[in-house]
Structure 1
């Protein structure tokens, strides 16, 4: 306990280890209690630190979290980005050191302005509010990096019933509040009213979640639809090679032609690795095949459009042929994978900064959903499914959810399984079926409770067959999003700031007297 609460490197290293523990609470390990342990260590470790010490402690926690949880970045840079092992390691360390500041700044703020050691119940509530603010800010600043949120640990845990109420955000808030309340129970025992309030706050969210775990917030909007999701397992080294284009188009064509009849035929992200305008004949052929089967076919394909200044802009997109309609342009782009920040300086420095198709533009925000077989489908291309609020905005207009991806960039790392876990959470939050079609796995069908009903092996070609059910009605989270929790958090932090200021003024007056 002494190492946890006092300043110095023993405590900082322990905070780093605590951050790494969160990775074990998430996919593919799913040891959910470790998320709570991690938060307990962080909360206790900030109790006696001054702002500068808290900043270092928070940075160490973030470094441990991202160092353990984003190891797949090394695979992307080294194996597929062409960087040497040394350079890839240095780039990864630089990235981790930079994003660890997402924890350093809130912990500095906590120690300087928000912490209330003399009011343990209010202190626990303020800690949960600031923790939520940290996660929200991390998902927004500079397009965001909404990865490794603690709430995902509860997808198969006791708090999963809260997801349709307040999304993953409510779960994260509850975990932080629980951790702080458990730490403060000895202090709360000195005040009977505070103790009763603390116990109620501690137990109520867990009891509510358990009561709601099997509650269906949405209902079927029609009969089940059969699905055939094609997993081509095309090597990343072949993906954008012009010499391999015909082989890839033939692969998806033949796998589709020999598949069982299905209402929805789904191909993954950029399954057609050439511009849509160059593949019109091919798409027309596949559209006729789908229509003859009374099917809708949805595929990833890049597009270009003429911009206002007479220059073409390129987009990562999805289009529908056969018994459906619509084209969607990706809005949330992956830095370096789909666009290069400061590209005037970085392009050409190493191969990683000049990857194929790394000059995409962002699609407009006011796009219509895809339509297939008479239903509205909310599309998410790869990275987009990890943004809770963005995903909820599309899901609220939809009957079905669809995410297509090419997780080949992650290799055999834990990245694809983390990505899948976030897609499962989106289905649970929305109370809707999710179709997930990827190039090399994990392709899956996910029900409205966030459970996989069908999947096929990773790293091999195959066709995923199953059924999904269009759903209507909105979960509370789709209806209200994170606004109620945001308002509560702002009030709690504001309360802490005002109370601390009043205490300081009172102390100054007492000293003056």
Structure 2
């Protein structure tokens, strides 16, 4: 590691950029579902050493640019690994989309890496020669992760903190500090090897102490989770039985290929499956669930299909289905909604929720007129894109059964920003990850959803078009799951929510307080141990 430390400190130009790009890619191996946590401890110190070798000379502009390049290169490598699976969606339409796949992934990773470049610049502006510098970079990086999860609609995929959630035991700390708190912890702990190498005048035991402390903290996290789960008690929601249908509807990418009557027949047949003649099947179910994109057409235009759905349901049964919905205003030029409809025995929608947090380029096209000229459209079909719903309407009250906090697809990624969770008894997530079949994307998305269940202390019920369909208890433990890309149904009984978790009571305030403390400590360390840049003298 001494060789690596010295190389990172002395490298410059394209060699340094390449080294940081590779280090970032190595760090990317820690993302779900790979979870190679040692990769973070190998890669993160390289960032520290590279900043150590960037002397604050030649004015702030040069320092800013040099430090920015270090963080940008590291982030670009990380996000190329983290987001490479998004390229699978380009194979759905083919044609020009395949030509755009590589530059699009490169551009997306570079765009998100800008946040890490800015974090690196901010950290280097407060750099010091003491061990406090790892706190400086960890604070700046965590603040950057918070920012990318919130600005410009937010994109909180693969936050660093997910690296510390590979098991149900390690997930439990998210019920206290949330995934952003875990992000700060992951960054700080993974940087501790930078204090070991290269060797200096300090004794080896002193240089090793922060690293061993990091290992002890990880062990404490695991122990906390184990003890929490050992004492965990859950109770089922009474008189509730949900059937989750995983139908493999691939017509979602091309509505013109959909046969509405045939699809409804297929969905009804799946919904009424029986494991044996003695199995009550759908008769024992209170809530039937069809996932996002199960109906790639406007259901209200097929009254006979609605009538068939009504005839399938009993007097105390509800179908919850993903479906596109035309605006109730009836305006012909108004984009539709991506919705969840609750349909009862009469075939009428008794409740609905319209997706509020749309995916850029997935469900709406920024600068639509410009991209349309290039033949580029949003991935999810829909006339003129989709329009967002009201995020304050996520809690769905049904004629019977618990209230649901409805989240469509990637809406479940937004830690601490799910809506009025105190009014809901159950996290309800439908999704269509079929765009990314064969990649790590569906498993990654599913893992992010599990962490939300732990944070909120609520059971999660998740129905996916092609997988992964599953349910968890309020501690994130999976209580039932279907294999990906298998047409089947899953019957589950959700558990009652916990009274409260520490996270639901204080949300991200401890994380923000840690950012403030870390920032103040960095300023103090920079004043006491830092090196001020030389000013150019004017002659």
Q: TM-score category by the smaller chain? A: 0.7 to 0.9
**Bigger shift: residues 249-258 or 417-426:** 249-258
For 2:438, the equivalent position in structure 1 comes to: 412
CA distance in structure 2 between the aligned counterparts of 1:242 and 1:204, rounded to whole angstroms: 54
Q: Is the 8 A contact 2:471 2:492 kept in 1?
A: yes
User: 1:107-132: CA deviations, max 9, x gaps?
Assistant: 111112x32223x1x33333322221
**Bigger shift: residues 481-490 or 220-229:** 220-229
In the comparison of the two structures, how many residue pairs are matched?
503
Match among 5, 10, 19 for residue 6 of structure 1: 10
**Bigger shift: residues 132-141 or 488-497:** 488-497
For 1:464, the equivalent position in structure 2 comes to: 490
For 2:344, the equivalent position in structure 1 comes to: 322
Seen in structure 2, the aligned counterparts of structure 1 residues 504 and 177 have a Cα distance that, compared at 3 Å, is: closer
For 1:282, the equivalent position in structure 2 comes to: 305
User: 1:56-108: CA deviations, max 9, x gaps?
Assistant: 11111121112122122222124336425333222222222222212111111
Q: How far apart are residue 477 of structure 1 and its match?
A: 0.9
**Counterpart mapping for 1:45-124 below 5 A:** 45-49=50-54, 50-80=63-93, 82-83=95-96, 85-112=98-125, 114-118=126-130, 120=131, 122-124=132-134
**Partner secondary structure for residue 335 of structure 1:** coil
Match among 503, 513, 526 for residue 487 of structure 1: 513
CA distance in structure 2 between the aligned counterparts of 1:68 and 1:208, rounded to whole angstroms: 26
For 1:212, the equivalent position in structure 2 comes to: 225
Q: Is the 8 A contact 1:218 1:474 kept in 2?
A: no
CA distance in structure 1 between the aligned counterparts of 2:533 and 2:123, rounded to whole angstroms: 20
CA distance in structure 1 between the aligned counterparts of 2:288 and 2:330, rounded to whole angstroms: 35
Seen in structure 2, the aligned counterparts of structure 1 residues 183 and 124 have a Cα distance that, compared at 3 Å, is: same
For 1:421, the equivalent position in structure 2 comes to: 447
**Bigger shift: residues 79-88 or 453-462:** 79-88
Match among 36, 41, 49 for residue 31 of structure 1: 36
Q: CA RMSD of the aligned region, Å?
A: 3.3
Q: Is the 8 A contact 1:301 1:316 kept in 2?
A: yes
Seen in structure 2, the aligned counterparts of structure 1 residues 314 and 127 have a Cα distance that, compared at 3 Å, is: same
1:203 aligns with 2:216: yes
Q: Is the 8 A contact 1:80 1:409 kept in 2?
A: no
Q: Is the 8 A contact 2:251 2:258 kept in 1?
A: no
Q: How far apart are residue 396 of structure 1 and its match?
A: 3.7
Q: Is the 8 A contact 1:236 1:408 kept in 2?
A: no
Q: How far apart are residue 172 of structure 1 and its match?
A: 1.4
**Following TM superposition, where does structure 1 have runs of at least 4 consecutive aligned residues deviating by more than 6 angstroms?**
190-202, 307-310, 502-508
Seen in structure 2, the aligned counterparts of structure 1 residues 116 and 467 have a Cα distance that, compared at 3 Å, is: same
For 2:165, the equivalent position in structure 1 comes to: 155
Q: Is the 8 A contact 2:28 2:77 kept in 1?
A: no
Q: How far apart are residue 476 of structure 1 and its match?
A: 0.9
CA distance in structure 2 between the aligned counterparts of 1:281 and 1:187, rounded to whole angstroms: 79
CA distance in structure 2 between the aligned counterparts of 1:434 and 1:21, rounded to whole angstroms: 32
**Bigger shift: residues 283-292 or 425-434:** 283-292
**Partner secondary structure for residue 523 of structure 2:** helix
Match among 345, 362, 368 for residue 370 of structure 2: 345
User: 1:427-449: CA deviations, max 9, x gaps?
Assistant: 22222221111111111122333
**Counterpart mapping for 1:163-312 below 5 A:** 163-184=174-195, 203-204=216-217, 206-215=219-228, 219-220=234-235, 222-223=237-238, 225-236=240-251, 239-241=254-256, 243-258=258-273, 260-261=281-282, 262-279=285-302, 282-283=305-306, 285-287=308-310, 289-292=312-315, 294-305=316-327, 312=334
1:431 aligns with 2:457: yes
Q: Is the 8 A contact 1:429 1:475 kept in 2?
A: yes
Q: TM-score, normalised by structure 1?
A: 0.87
Q: How far apart are residue 375 of structure 1 and its match?
A: 0.8
CA distance in structure 2 between the aligned counterparts of 1:299 and 1:274, rounded to whole angstroms: 12
Q: How far apart are residue 334 of structure 1 and its match?
A: 0.8
**Bigger shift: residues 435-444 or 77-86:** 77-86
Q: How far apart are residue 367 of structure 1 and its match?
A: 0.9
For 1:511, the equivalent position in structure 2 comes to: none
Q: How far apart are residue 410 of structure 1 and its match?
A: 1.0
Q: How far apart are residue 488 of structure 1 and its match?
A: 2.0
Give unmatched runs, 5+ long, in structure 1.
509-513
Q: Is the 8 A contact 1:124 1:180 kept in 2?
A: yes
Seen in structure 2, the aligned counterparts of structure 1 residues 193 and 5 have a Cα distance that, compared at 3 Å, is: closer
**Partner secondary structure for residue 341 of structure 1:** coil
Q: Is the 8 A contact 2:451 2:476 kept in 1?
A: yes
Q: Is the 8 A contact 2:128 2:530 kept in 1?
A: no
Q: Is the 8 A contact 1:177 1:202 kept in 2?
A: no
**Partner secondary structure for residue 152 of structure 2:** helix
Q: How far apart are residue 224 of structure 1 and its match?
A: 7.2
Match among 405, 408, 415 for residue 381 of structure 1: 408
User: 1:285-307: CA deviations, max 9, x gaps?
Assistant: 42453333x33321111123256
Match among 121, 127, 142 for residue 132 of structure 1: 142
**Partner secondary structure for residue 71 of structure 1:** helix
Q: How far apart are residue 4 of structure 1 and its match?
A: 2.2
User: 1:467-486: CA deviations, max 9, x gaps?
Assistant: 32121411111221111211
Seen in structure 2, the aligned counterparts of structure 1 residues 188 and 389 have a Cα distance that, compared at 3 Å, is: farther
